[in-house]
Amino acid sequence: MAEIEREAMEYDVVIVGAGPAGLSAAIRLKQLDAECNVVVLEKGSEVGAHILSGAVLDPCGLDALIPDWKDKGAPVKVEVKEDNFFMLGESGKIRVPNFPMPPLMHNHGNYIVSMGNVCRWMAEQAEELGVEIFPGMACSELVYGDNGEVKGVVAGEFGIEADGTKGANYEPGMELHGKYVFLSEGVRGSLGKQVIAKYNLDEGKEPQKYGLGMKEIWEIDPAKHREGTVTHTMGWPLNKNAGGGSFIYHLENNQVYVGFVVHLGYKNPHVFPYMEFQRFKHHPMVAELLEGGKRVAYGARAITEGGWQSMPKMVAPGVALLGCEVGMVNVPRIKGNHNAMLSGKAAAEAAHAAIKAGRSADELDDYETEVREGAIGEDLRKVRNVKPLWSKYGLTASLLLGGFDMWTNTLGFSLLGTIGHGKSDADATEEASKHEKIDYPKPDGKLSFDRLTNVAFSFTNHEESQPAHLKLKDPSIPVSYNLPKYAGPSARYCPAGVYEFVEEPGKEARFVINFQNCVHCKTCDIKDPAQNIVWTTPQGGDGPNYPNM
């Protein structure tokens, strides 16, 4: 096959992904040197189109990057006024008091935000400084130099037909080369996965752990709206089926964010995370809040939850991994955006110093040191045992032991050391024969909705003439292995209804991939028991178009 010829553009730093980490890096590079040549490549149709987060924002990252963000009109306005935490039963609730919780768990001084809108604002700040930002430019390949270093990326390849051939409107894309390449693709980034594997960056680390976060925006009755109120719940409906919980955040304009997180280390392949979310909204506390309101948006994405012990090495020759590529979410706080911003700032400072010293394409060790020994490391070390305690011993033990461990870590020591996670989320899945099926109530179309109806509210679009961006290593495995052994879990763990097993009388089941529905959450890449599904980027601009997530 003839090698594709592409034009190449040279930059000081090439950044993949216009999330909080990538944009923070771009801004900091230009703050340090106005002449630094920086480009940000974003696969979404616009900056913010693929950003989904809770989100209660700890502003420490923004404070460090743009201290006068309030004066510059950042969309960070709704300060947390009230912090509630409940344990739910099927029809009741118990309020967990705030006073026994470690100081790090309090939301005083934090803000309820749309991270999509925060990123749109950050992009404006970056462009004012001279950063080039190209949305709709999916990065499909890494470019390596003669010595095995990461030299750049391929972006903007369009026009490949469904059968893999080049169509009449084929565009080969461009190579964008940098002295350093920053990967800030978010959770389970497709290029980041390749870098971690090529350079064995996860050697000696615990397996990364993940959760699936699903979120709806609701407009509710103004009489029920309490701007600045933050509510978290645990317990029902998940109970012992899976770890996880919910969030309800009251922002401005009579809107609330209603979200649900399911930890993907669950054993029972019959668990249906999306339906757990829909069932949750029928709890009396939630149903009363949402009654008479309307859902205006929906989305989903995976969350990195492994924390301190799962963070891979962050640098390799010519490349650095930022934010969720590494996994910087503080799980009990349900916060990672502040650490993503701080990681972008740290990477920028390390690259600036290296370029100033005449270096390029080497390992930015100063970045790794700053992450592990600075504010990010301090944030994550304190909570490192909460997630493995929850996974191994259940909710009650994690609340008691995890709370105790967070308190002792706050005081500077831990009696538990560092607990390992054990299995990956894929390996944690057990055979269907060991578990009972779960009977989920049918959505009522008022509080709860079927997946395809909800996916319409993610405003997802994929050009159907392209090849499916969800690849199977072995096309036979879903029907020959996953269906008989695990009851076809992809039909349930996907929050967008991408995968289905079509069974017809007298015929073998067919595995169908409706890639047009994909909201880019990456759950399939994480949870598939055979690790047979590989998530790759579709052509640029495709995917969800989140308005205010």
> Read out DSSP for 82-119?
EEEEEEE-SS-EEEPPSTTS-GGG--TT-EE--HHHHH
The dihedral over CA atoms of 463, 466, 472, 474, expressed in degrees to the nearest 10, equals 150
Positions of E strands within 264-309? 294-304
pLDDT by 10s per residue, the chain, length 549: 357 889 999 999 999 999 999 999 999 999 999 999 999 999 999 999 999 999 999 999 999 999 999 999 999 999 999 999 999 999 999 998 877 777 777 899 999 999 999 999 999 999 999 999 999 999 999 999 999 999 999 999 998 888 888 888 899 899 999 999 999 999 999 999 999 999 999 999 999 999 999 999 999 999 999 999 999 999 999 999 999 999 999 999 999 999 999 999 999 999 999 999 999 999 999 999 999 999 999 999 999 999 999 999 999 999 999 999 999 999 988 999 999 999 999 999 999 999 999 999 999 999 999 999 999 999 999 999 888 888 887 777 777 777 777 888 787 878 888 899 999 999 999 999 999 999 999 999 999 999 999 999 999 999 999 999 999 999 999 999 999 999 999 999 999 999 999 998 988 999 999 999 999 999 999 999 999 999 999 998 999 999 999
Cβ neighbourhood burial of 219 (10 Å; 0-12, 13-18, 19+) = middle
C-alpha pair distances (Å), 275 with each of 271, 456, 492, 502: 9, 17, 9, 20
Positions of E strands within 329-437? none
**Residues whose CB falls within 8 Å of the CB of residue 474, separated by 6 or more in sequence, listed in order:** 530, 532
The token pair that represents 528 in the structure block: 């598939």
Q: How far is CA 254 from the centre of its chain?
A: 26
